[in-house]
Structure formats: structure tokens, C-alpha cells
Amino acid sequence: MRIVALAGGIGGARFLRGLKEAVAPGDEITVIGNTGDDIHLYGLKVCPDLDTVMYTLGGGINEDQGWGRTDETWSIKAEMKEYGVGPEWFGLGDRDFATHLVRSQMLSAGYSLSQVTEALCVRWRPGVRLIPMSDDRVETHVRITDEAGPRVVHFQEYWVRLHAAVDAEAIIPVGADTAKPAPGVLEAIAAADVILLPPSNPVVSIGTILAVPGIRQAVSDASAPVVGLSPIIGGAPVRGMADKVLAAVGVETSAEAVARHYGSELLDGWLVDDSDAEAVAGVEAAGIRCRAVPLLMSDVPATAGMARAALALAAEVRA
Amino acid sequence: MRIVALAGGIGGARFLRGLKEAVAPGDEITVIGNTGDDIHLYGLKVCPDLDTVMYTLGGGINEDQGWGRTDETWSIKAEMKEYGVGPEWFGLGDRDFATHLVRSQMLSAGYSLSQVTEALCVRWRPGVRLIPMSDDRVETHVRITDEAGPRVVHFQEYWVRLHAAVDAEAIIPVGADTAKPAPGVLEAIAAADVILLPPSNPVVSIGTILAVPGIRQAVSDASAPVVGLSPIIGGAPVRGMADKVLAAVGVETSAEAVARHYGSELLDGWLVDDSDAEAVAGVEAAGIRCRAVPLLMSDVPATAGMARAALALAAEVRA
């Protein structure tokens, strides 16, 4: 079976680890990774979501924080502070820096981001085929108004530095309008037997992937059933600050509202948490088959159970 | 008093530390640093000699090895090995990487190497004005013949990887012929009261600085006395493998031969070690005033003594 998943960072990566446990031997998983949270720091190209997927599936992730490397050291960060070179608010450890150095050097040498990602995965062996959504530069920016007045900041500044403490007025995936899907993205979607939307951020992760021209259409047109898992449980994001960016696009923070936001042109099936069972009827009324199951990724077996439920719902849709 | 010193890496930096102890309050030291051993690694511009001077005078050097940072960590090097990205033979610690990242980012932003060096020195406060010999790219290469046949390698590959174990057939400062002295270099030389040649490598350190068009002439033309200190004691380099590169330019490894190699057009005075006292007559016969003094930089006070002897010889020449 060929499974395609669209994934952001921490939530997507953890779901994929469960998915790998849930699939049968011989099944192939292709992950289309969000690159909208990419940022250039210290002259290097940093791809937080791609790396979180790669490190998580490759056994190099810092489990406690969910991002960055295990056994990390922080010498460069300390030195940058001594040099007075920022940003101080973004945490790049020394081991992590090595990845960005290798990536940046390969990009400078003319390789595409998807070629670089493939090369990095030779080391990490994530057990999935990881493709960035696009080889073109796309960076999500957020319009806010704070004491500095109305302004637009990089998504990472909004998320990491400001902790999404001010309202997001608009989410702008800069460059997405002219970006092309990376080689293999549309082909993988067209050839898929199942397409999964993990419980990643519906706006700045999966929404950004779908904003690359051609990808949303390819998912809609795909013969494979498209099944998503709600990142919202009991009216709140399980992790992160998805409510802030949902509000920016006029979507209520609820399992049903997110399903309706994706819409029945895109989604065939939707999983909500048991605690949101009352949402099932509303989602089905929107033309999307819906089931309530436990959706907390508390450990790998629980997450594998979620993945099995998603695959089962896909099979049910297909039948 | 305005003192100008031409300096390479470890030997030059250690001499400068002694020189700082030897000068009077108010004296100004300008260091013209060799950049011929610069190398691009992992997409970054690495300037080993400039950094060794900066770290040594700024209190950040690893005293035992003479290069690199104190309290260093090696996470990136370990990661590069995992990625299979070389060169493995060049030791760049994590703290050191931070310097190269800041430098490379500033160079990409359009600053010159001398501007970048000045900016880095804002942190390090080396107590001297450190100027690279040139803002233009100059990289020393070495022609060798080994089992791979005749070939040309980067100086760092010859020095660090091959430990100068094969003969150097030629020393080629690539780019030197079209390089221009960095802003301030010729002015500092012209305005100097004393010009010192520390016991740095006469070929690949000081020789490379002198190979930048205009610098040798400026030193020759300077009204200030030019005094050098022999890096050769008892027929052998005190440190490093200077004999290998001296042979490549047809110079015997002796205190007298190095003085004659610089020549009386350049040198007014030359210090040899006490153990080479028999060389004094030969050097003076070549038209260069010469004294034998202890030349082992065993500690800072001993090195300060060498610097005082050099300044005294300069005063004697001037009188």
C-alpha cells in the first residue's frame, strides 16, 4: 500500500512514528513536509519541520522538547551571545547546526532542497520517503499589531519569540503563490492508496503545503481516500498554539470547524477524539465521514492505534 | 611608538603576547596578519592565522594546542563524520565554528575581511589593531609528488593532513599576484616607528604577506627599522615544519640563511638564538645587524624579553 502523509513538525513527526508501527511490511510511506517554517539564520538554511520529521523517525530527536537533537551541546549559541549576534530566541544546538551546514553547503553547490533532504536521509534512514512540499523558497509570515504598531514578522518570530501571545491577523505564506511542488510530490499524491492529514497545524503546516499551487488540487483529484486527524481536542490544540492561527483564518478552534475548514472537496474522512464524539454528526453533515477514537499521542502504541483507525476509516471510505 | 608586526599563526601570536608586555603604555601595535592559510570549509570562510592571533591575544586560545578555542566542544565534527562530510583531518570545534559563521555571514552581507576582523575584535579586544594582509582571496597551495602523482594541494592539506611528510616542490600563494593590501596596511607600514618580523614561518606566513604586491616594497621603503627574529634555532624550526617549505624555496634551514633570504633590502636587524651565536658574523656580513639572545618563547616573560631585545636592536639601528 502506498501511503502519503502531509506533515508539519512535532505533531506530524510523532504521528508518523505511530504510522510506521501501524503499516504492514512492504507498505510505502511518502511524507510531504512543510517548509513554510524554514528560516535563514546565520547565513544557513534551517528547515525545522523537515528536520523534526527526520530526527524523530531517525532516532535523533530530543524526546522531551520534541525538536532538536538528543545529546545536544550549545557552544555556538553561547558564542553568538558573546559576539552579540542574534537571534537569541531561536534555539539551534551544535549538532543541529551541522545539519544546517551540510544542507546550506549542498544548496550553494546547486542541489535542490529535495535532493539535499534525500542526502540527509541517507544518514537518518527515517523509514519513509521525505520530500519537501517545494524546492522553492516559501516562508510563512504573520501580520500582527503590538506596541511596535502593525507589522509582519516571520512565523518563527511569531511562534518562538512571541509565543503567539498577540493575535495573528493574517497568515501569509510568502512565495507560495509562485512555488512549484517539489519533484515527486504530485506523482506521489496521484499514485497514493491512502492520503493522511496527521494532527499537524491545519493553517501553518498542512495549510501551507496545500497553498503550493497544484497540491490542493492533486489531493482533491486523487483517487485515494483522504483522511485527517483532528489536532483539536475538547476545543483546544493538543500542543502548540493552533487556536491563534485558526482565528487568523476565521476558523473556530473545534474538531468540527477544522474538518469544515478542510472541506469535503478535500477530506473523505475525519477522526475526532472520543471526548469530541458530539462533533461526529456535524462533520458527517458536512459530507465527511467521521469517527471518534482516542487521539492523544501519549506514546508510540497509542499513536499507532490512531494511525490504524485512520487507515481503517480510509478502507471504509474506499469500500 | 607605533609598532607594526607581520604575523602568521601560533608563533606570531605568542610573540605578540610577549610584545604587548614589552611595550610602553601608549605604544600602538598594528598586526598585519597572514591570510594565505585561509580555507573554505563547509561553505564557511576560515582564517586560522587571524583567529589564532585574535584568540591568543583575547584570552580565548587553547593554550595546549596553540590553536582553536578553550573549553571547546566537538559536536559538529562528530556530526559531520556521521554525515560522511569531510574533511575529517581539519579540526574545527563548535566555538570556533561560531567565529566562522559570523565571519561568513558578514562577508556575504558585503563587508570586507578587514571590516569583519575589526568587528570580531570588538569582542576579543586583542589589544592590537589586527588587519588582514589583504581583503582579497589569497590561498597558499603546495606542489607535491606522492603516490597519487604530481599534484597541488591546499596549504592546510599539506600541513595538517599530510604533516608536511612529503617534500614541498613549490609554494604557490594563489591570488597573491592580483591581491591588494587591505586598507590601512601600507599606511601603517609607512607610519611605523618599528617594523617587526616575529619568528613566524618565513615562507608561508611572512613570505605570503610580503607576496601581496606593494607590501614588500612598503616595508623596504619604510623609514622605520625592520627587525626580525629567527624561527630557526640550531638548524631546526622551533615549532612546525618550516624546514619543509624553506627547502621548497631553496633556503637552508638555518638562522643565517633565513636572514639572507629576507635580505638586507628588507631587514635592518636580525635576532638569532644564543645557541646560534656563530651565525652573527655571517648575518652581519650580509649587511644586517645581528645579535644573539635567548629566543625560546617558553613563557610570556621570556617572550617579552625577546620583544625587548628586538625593540632595542631597532633603536640601535635607528641611532
**Interface predicted TM-score (ipTM):** 0.93
Strands (DSSP E) along chain B, which ranges? Answer: 2-7, 28-33, 39-41, 44-46, 129-132, 139-146, 149-154, 170-174, 194-197, 226-229, 232-233, 236-237, 269-273, 289-293
A212 φ, ψ to 5°? -75, 120
Report long-range pairs for A291-297 (Cβ below 8 Å, ≥24 apart).
A295/A199, A295/A229, A295/A230, A295/A233, A295/A238, A295/A271, A296/A233, A296/A238, A297/A11, A297/A14, A297/A15, A297/A18, A297/A199, A297/A238
- Chain A's closest residue to B85, CA to CA, is A102
| Whole-angstrom distance, CA of residue B310 vs CA of residue B23 | 11
Residue in A with minimal Cα distance to B99: A79
**8 Å CB contact between B16 and B209:** no
Question: Closest approach of chain A CAs to the CA of B109, in angstroms?
Answer: 9
Angstroms from B135 CA to nearest CA on chain A: 20
pLDDT over 90 (residue B36): yes
Numbers of helices and strands, H then E, in chain A: 13, 14
Residues from B contacting A (CB-CB < 8 Å) are: 42-44, 72-73, 75-76, 78-80, 82-85, 93-95, 97-99, 101-102, 104-105, 108, 120, 123
Q: Residue B238 pLDDT more than 90?
A: no
B286-306 pLDDT tens trace: 999 999 999 999 999 999 999
Closest residue, chain B, to A123 (C-alpha): B83
What pLDDT sits at residue B239? 81
Homologous superfamily (CATH) for A2-135+177-318 = CofD-like domains (3.40.50.10680)
Which residues of chain A have a CB within 8 Å of the CB of B76? 94-95, 97-98, 101
To the nearest whole Å, the CA of A242 is away from the closest chain B CA by: 33
Angle (nearest 5°) at CA A64 between A62 and A68: 30
Judge: A75–B79 Cβ closer than 8 Å, yes or no: no
* A84:B120 CB<8 A: no
Smallest CA–CA distance, residue A65 to chain B, in Å, is 19
Cβ within 8 Å, pair A42-B82: no
Query: What would you report as the CA-atom Rg of chain A, rounded to the nearest whole angstrom?
Result: 19
Provide the residue type at B111 as one letter. Answer: Y
Q: Which residue did the predictor score with more confidence, B148 or B32?
A: B32
Angle at B228 between CA B224 and CA B230, to 5 degrees: 175
CB B220 within 8 A of CB B265: yes
B149-160 per-position pLDDT tens digit? 999 999 999 999
Task: Find the CB nearest B85 among A78, A93, A102.
Answer: A102
Yes or no, beta carbons of B79 and A72 under 8 Å apart = no
Q: Which of A94, A104, A123 comes nearest B83 by C-beta? A: A123
Average confidence (pLDDT) over B194-209? 97
Using CA atoms in the order A305, A308, A313, A316, what is the torsion angle rounded to 10 degrees? -130
**Minimal Cα–Cα distance from B161 to chain A, Å?**
21
Facing residue for B102 by CB, picked from A75, A85, A101: A85
Task: Name which of B75, B82, B104 is nearest A94 (Cβ-Cβ).
Answer: B75
Q: Which long-range contacts (CB under 8 A, 24 or more apart) does A255-262 make?
A: A255/A230, A255/A279, A255/A283, A256/A282, A256/A283, A256/A286, A257/A232, A258/A202, A258/A230, A258/A231, A258/A232, A259/A228, A259/A230, A259/A283, A259/A286, A259/A288, A259/A290, A260/A286, A261/A202, A262/A197, A262/A202, A262/A228
Q: How far apart are CA B306 and CA B90, in angstroms?
A: 32
pLDDT computed for residue B294 by the predictor:
97
By Cβ distance, the residue of B80, B98, B105 closest to A79 is B98
Cβ of B73 within 8 Å of Cβ of A73? The answer is: yes
Q: Do A73 and B78 touch (CB under 8 A)?
A: no
- Among the partner-chain residues A42, A78, A95, the one whose CB lies closest to the CB of B105 is A42
Of A150, A177, A146, A175, the closest CA to residue A162 belongs to A146
pLDDT value of residue B277: 97
Q: Which has the closest alpha carbon to B158: B139, B179, B177?
A: B139
In order of A78, A137, A154, B18, the CA distances from A34 in angstroms are: 29, 11, 15, 56
Cell numbers at B153, concatenated? 594541494
| Domain residue ranges of chain A, discontinuous segments joined by + | 2-135+177-318
Distance of residue A196 Cα from the nearest chain B Cα, in angstroms: 31
Chain A: residues touching B (Cβ < 8 Å): 42-44, 72-73, 75-76, 78-80, 82-85, 93-95, 97-99, 101-102, 104-105, 108, 120, 123
State the maximum Cα–Cα separation within chain B, in Å, rounded to a whole number: 62
Could you tell me the CA-to-CA distances from A198 to A212, A251, B79, B220, B224 in Å, in that order?
Answer: 18, 18, 30, 73, 74
Per-residue pLDDT, averaged over B80-84, amounts to 97
Q: Tell me which residue in A97, A99, A108 faces B43 most closely, judged by beta carbons.
A: A108
| Residues present in chain B in total | 319
- Look at residue B22 and tell me whether its pLDDT is greater than 90: yes
Q: Output phi, psi for A234, to 5 deg.
A: 60, 35
Q: Do A101 and B72 touch (CB under 8 A)?
A: no
Optimal mutation site among A39, A40, A94, interface B, most CBs of chain B within 10 A: A94
Contacts of A101 in chain B (CB under 8 A): 42-44, 76, 80
**CB-CB contact of A46 with A39 (8 Å):** yes
Instruction: Give Cα separations from A256 to A100, A265, A291 (angstroms).
Output: 38, 15, 12
pLDDT of residue A239: 82
The CATH code for residues B2-135+181-239+253-318 is 3.40.50.10680
Is 90 exceeded by the pLDDT of residue B240? no
The percentage of residues in chain B with a pLDDT greater than 70, rounded to a whole number, is 100
Is A75–B94 a contact, with Cβ atoms under 8 angstroms apart? yes
- Encode chain A (319 residues) as per-residue pLDDT tens digits: 999 999 999 999 999 999 999 999 999 999 999 999 999 999 999 999 999 999 999 999 999 999 999 999 999 999 999 999 999 999 999 999 999 999 999 999 999 999 999 999 999 999 999 999 999 999 999 999 999 899 999 999 999 999 999 999 999 999 999 999 999 999 999 999 999 999 999 999 999 999 999 999 999 999 999 999 999 999 999 888 889 999 999 999 999 999 999 999 999 999 999 999 999 999 999 999 999 999 999 999 999 999 999 999 999 999 9
How close B145 gets to chain A, by Cα (Å)? 29
Mutate to test the interface with B, among A51, A83, A124 (most CBs of B within 10 A): A83
Name the helix (H) or strand (E) containing B155: helix B155-156
Judged by CB atoms closer than 8 Å, whether chains meet at A83 and B72 is answered as: no
Return the axis-axis angle of helices A113-124 and A94-108, rounded to nearest 10°: 140
Looking at residue A241, its pLDDT comes to: 86
Cα B65-B127-B156 angle, rounded to 5 deg = 35
Helix, coil or strand: residue A295: coil
